[in-house]
Structure 1
Amino acid sequence: MTVLGVLGDLLDDHVVWLREPLREASDTEVTMYRVRGGSAANVAALAGQRHPTRFIGCVGPDLEGDRLVAELASRGVDVRVQRAGRTGSVVVLVDPSGERTMLPYRGAAALLGPVDPEWTEGLAHLHVPAYAFAEEPAATAAADALRRTAVRGGTVSVDASSTGMLRAYGERRFLRLLGTLAPHFLFANRAEAAALAHGSGGPGPAGDDLCALARRLRRTTVIVKDGARPTTVLAPDQPPLRVAVAPVDGIRDLTGAGDAFAAGFLTAYLEGAGLREACGTGHSEAARVLRTPGASA
């Protein structure tokens, strides 16, 4: 079993680079790009250039779905999709500092039904962004695929995805879900970790509060990204590990940086890297997407 599996969204991203502050109820000068998106698809596309990778998801029986499947397959990814509904899309507003605000319509991605058991056979690892749990039937399909992979001896991971998603789902409810899934890895940025730390009874992501979150998820290695500041790795029964991030110049778009980190980390992990080395590979992959629209490198 060597294949990395990624389950979740494959979407049509409309990335809007603001050239000036947003003018409400008027016009704003922008530069616009159309790229393949979806957190899971971003991970798969970037991982597929480094390691055998399979994507599992759902797109519409439409031209957009055809185009996105072909684009993802061109990255060396084994694409397995159901076809239903209408292919989803996201408008991503990116300010001059690179910070992004997303307006998602997940469409067909939320319609993913029970996953064919053959699609999860041979997976060494299955990664699922939390977006997959936002709606049914995809939420049940994602949880079932994770459990099936673990039963077969594979490892699994979950990405916390966004504070908006966690708030809508419920932080405490998400922690309960993680408790039942027992992923080997949980990826989160500082804000997402803060939300979950608060949900676990801690007031925020600093120091002991992150450790409290890790104790709540006692079978899971929690990986907390913090932009240009060091990444913190909290592995069960181990002291916190902090991995420095190399400086990156010319940052224009933070979209997909977390997905790129996950792609780098997981491919390095599957090839035998330790936690520090895997984080370093994750940082290198994230740096590749910071100057280009969306999660393109």
Structure 2
Amino acid sequence: MTVVTTRTFTPDAAGLSQAAAVLGDGGLVAFPTETVYGLGVDARNSDAVARLYAAKGRPGFNPLIVHVASLDAAEAYVEFDDTARALAQAFWPGALTLVLPLRADAGISPLVTAGLDTLAIRVPDHGVAAALLAAFDGPIAAPSANPSGQVSPTKAAHVADHMTGIIDGIVDGGDCPVGVESTIVATQPRPTLLRAGGLPAEAIANAVGQDLAMAGDADAPTSPGQLASHYAPKGTVRLNAVDINEGEVLLGFGAVDAPLNLSPSGDLVEAAARLFDALHQLNAMGAAQIAVSPIPDHGLGAAINDRLRRAAAPRSG
């Protein structure tokens, strides 16, 4: 990975304006929330989101949480039912993430949602995070600002220790008061705890007037990113294709002649950014049989191949 200069931004108007400009240019900026430091990118920029996955060494396209400035701002990206709106009014800003239906015109990168039709979204309860969101004036996707599998950071120094030379900047806003990630809840078909976190589940249950279902219950929604069918185009998929059979449409990678190419230069970050959009394009083309060029199975290639293997898996039903 190319070494980048990691700047430190002060949590004042000047520093946050600089950090917001970096985000607007597709950069990666760590910032404090009440839970942990998040590694933020413009949630609408697929290239930036793909770079975030590479920077974290994240093994797959796990859906990301999008941070917004207010409930009103969230309304532009997701559809609220009565329960979700009541929870947002009760606990936002705060350590509650809601998983809600994505609006068709939301403009969120499909890498953020892992191609799903839902979005995880919250309003952070931290002055610096709120000021950065105001300065950026847009949705910020932000998982924890640490290499995948390591301890989440609650101080700017934690971020600097692991991410210097990898990300573009760190907003030093002091210690995170909550120190554990947000609680994640889906409200349909019933209120369901997808991840325990900084807001106690009991408080949520009291607010909705019923016990929460647990992720994995038969009548509860599956946690984001677990269903293979979410990644499958309408046509059948054949992987590691070096020759094209009659009737197949090639999804290329590298120096191959293809109507759609994830990255002619063989750049895995570019390929990751284009993957979900390419699958949507194949549907729009009416491709009944899809051949996919071999893709290296390292770095982001492992995540790309994971999604493609799910797309190629036999369909149920």
TM-score (norm 1): 0.27
Which of the pair has more CA radius of gyration?
Answer: 2
Greater percentage in helix: 1
Greater percentage in strand: 1
